[in-house]
Copies of this chain bind each other. A is one copy, B any other.
Amino acid sequence: MNATAPRWASVPDLDTPAVVVDVAVVDRNITRMVHELRDRGVALRPHAKTHKSLDVARLQLSHGATGITTATLGEAEVFVDGGIPDVFIAYPIWAVGRKAQRLADLARRAPRLLVGADNPSGVAALAAAVGRSSRLEVVVEVESGEHRTGVQSPEQAVAVARAILDSGLRLAGVFTHGGHSYASADAALPAANDEVDALLAAAQAIGQLGVDVPMLSAGSTPTALLSSRDGVTEERPGTFVFGDRQQVALGAHPTDAVALFVIATVVSTEVPGQVVLDAGAKILSKDLPATLDGHGFLPHYPQAIVRRVFDHHAIVEVARGEAPALGERVIVVPNHVCPVVNLVDELYLVDDGAVVGRWPVDARGRNT
A interface residues, Cβ below 8 angstroms from B: 13, 15-18, 49, 71-72, 91-94, 96-99, 102, 118-119, 121-122, 125, 143, 147-152, 156, 179, 265-271, 274, 276, 278-279, 281-283, 285-288, 308, 310-313, 315, 326-327, 338-339, 342-345, 365, 367-368
Whether A270 contacts B118 by the Cβ 8 Å rule is: yes
Whether A271 contacts B71 by the Cβ 8 Å rule is: no
Whether B286 contacts A148 by the Cβ 8 Å rule is: no
In-complex Cβ contact of A99 among B15, B118, B148 (8 A): B15
Determine how close the nearest CB of chain B comes to the CB of A366; give it in whole angstroms: 9
Whether A338 contacts B311 by the Cβ 8 Å rule is: yes
User: Can you identify 6 A-B contacts, CB atoms within 8 angstroms?
Assistant: A121-B326, A151-B270, A279-B367, A281-B287, A281-B339, A285-B285
Q: Give the complex CA separation of A152 and B150 in angstroms.
A: 54
Each complex incorporates copies of this chain amounting to 2
In-complex Cβ contact of A93 among B93, B122, B267 (8 A): B267
Q: Give the complex CA separation of A312 and B366 in angstroms.
A: 11
Q: Give the complex CA separation of A18 and B72 in angstroms.
A: 13
Whether A18 contacts B368 by the Cβ 8 Å rule is: yes
Q: Give the complex CA separation of A150 and B268 in angstroms.
A: 8
Closest A-B pairs by Cβ, 3 of them: A149-B268, A71-B312, A15-B368
Additional A-B contact list (11), CB under 8 Å, known A94-B327, A149-B267: A15-B98, A15-B102, A17-B368, A92-B268, A94-B265, A149-B270, A150-B270, A282-B339, A311-B338, A342-B343, A343-B343
Q: Give the complex CA separation of A99 and B264 in angstroms.
A: 13
Given contacts A326-B121, A338-B311, A343-B342, contact A271 B152 (CB under 8 A): yes
Determine how close the nearest CB of chain B comes to the CB of A202; give it in whole angstroms: 13
Q: Give the complex CA separation of A98 and B12 in angstroms.
A: 13
Whether B143 contacts A270 by the Cβ 8 Å rule is: yes
Whether B270 contacts A49 by the Cβ 8 Å rule is: no
Determine how close the nearest CB of chain B comes to the CB of A76; give it in whole angstroms: 12
Whether A286 contacts B286 by the Cβ 8 Å rule is: yes
Considering the complex, give the chain B residue whose CB is closest to the CB of A273. Answer: B147
Given contacts A368-B15, A368-B16, contact A119 B326 (CB under 8 A): yes
Determine how close the nearest CB of chain B comes to the CB of A88; give it in whole angstroms: 14
Determine how close the nearest CB of chain B comes to the CB of A241; give it in whole angstroms: 15
Q: Give the complex CA separation of A93 and B313 in angstroms.
A: 11
Determine how close the nearest CB of chain B comes to the CB of A265; give it in whole angstroms: 5
Contacts of A266 in B (CB 8 A): 94
Q: Give the complex CA separation of A187 and B151 in angstroms.
A: 46
Considering the complex, give the chain B residue whose CB is closest to the CB of A266. Answer: B94
Q: Give the complex CA separation of A315 and B148 in angstroms.
A: 7
Given contacts A267-B94, A312-B71, contact A149 B276 (CB under 8 A): yes
Contacts of A152 in B (CB 8 A): 270-271
